[in-house]
């Protein structure tokens, strides 16, 4: 089971990296669909890792420090993606839950994303320490940073 999760995490990481390498294309070409696809792909990596760690903390799955740390590392790495490339001007779409408020206050949106990055990196550091309580507190902070952005900018 552990190797299956490892394979899934690596596959998601590679998929997100592929998307990252191609992230400048949507902004240059003005292809809204590709921008939406990119940002949703990155968000799926975040969601998958957050859910796995949350399930461990809630007792829905067995708590495993090494697996938690691997998810925290994956989240931290993914938080360094240039997600803003997936939100070029005029990239609103019915295929996306992104609200128009993003482009009305893009500086705040970017700031909230930077806060998420800081929280994800703090979570990775906490996971490296191995203390379950510290890991749980750091996960909670990362979750708060997600919610702060979603509350204002996601449908």
In the chain the domains, ranked by start, together with CATH numbers, are: 2-153 (1.20.120.10)
* pLDDT at residue 58 in the model: 98
The mean-pLDDT minimum among 24-28, 135-139, 141-145 falls in: 24-28
Largest CA-CA distance found in the chain, in angstroms, rounded: 47
CB-based contact 125:92 (threshold 8 Å) = no
Residues contributing to the annotated binding site: 146, 149-150
**pLDDT greater at residue 27 or residue 126:** 126
The pLDDT value recorded for residue 93 is 85
Measured CA to CA, the distance from residue 55 to residue 133 in angstroms comes to 15
Residues ≥6 apart with Cβ < 8 Å to 39? 83, 86, 87, 96, 98
pLDDT tens figures, 41-81: 999 999 999 999 999 999 999 999 999 999 999 999 999 99
Q: Per-residue pLDDT averaged across 115-144, rounded?
A: 98
Q: Which pTM value belongs to this model?
A: 0.79
Residue numbering of the annotated binding site for heme c: 146, 149-150
Closest CA to 91 of 12, 18, 25: 25
Residues 102, 151, 149, 8, CA torsion sign: negative
Which of 45-49, 92-96, 114-118 is the least confident region?
A: 92-96
Q: Is the pLDDT of residue 40 over 90?
A: yes
Residue 25's pLDDT band (cuts 50, 70, 90): very low
């Amino acid at each position: 089971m552990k190797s299956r999760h490892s394979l899934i995490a690596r596959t998601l990481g590679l998929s997100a990296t592929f998307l990252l390498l191609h992230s400048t294309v949507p902004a240059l070409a003005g292809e809204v669909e590709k921008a939406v696809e990119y940002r949703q792909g990155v968000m799926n990596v975040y969601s998958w890792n957050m859910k796995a760690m949350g399930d461990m903390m809630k007792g829905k799955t067995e708590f495993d420090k090494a697996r938690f740390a691997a998810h925290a590392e994956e989240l931290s790495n993914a938080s360094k993606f240039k997600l803003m490339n997936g939100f070029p001007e005029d990239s609103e779409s019915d295929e996306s839950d992104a609200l128009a408020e993003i482009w009305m206050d893009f500086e705040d949106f970017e700031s909230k994303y930077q806060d998420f990055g800081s929280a994800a990196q703090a979570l990775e550091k906490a996971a490296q320490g191995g203390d379950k309580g510290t890991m749980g507190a750091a996960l909670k902070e990362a979750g708060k940073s997600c919610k702060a952005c979603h509350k204002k900018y996601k449908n």
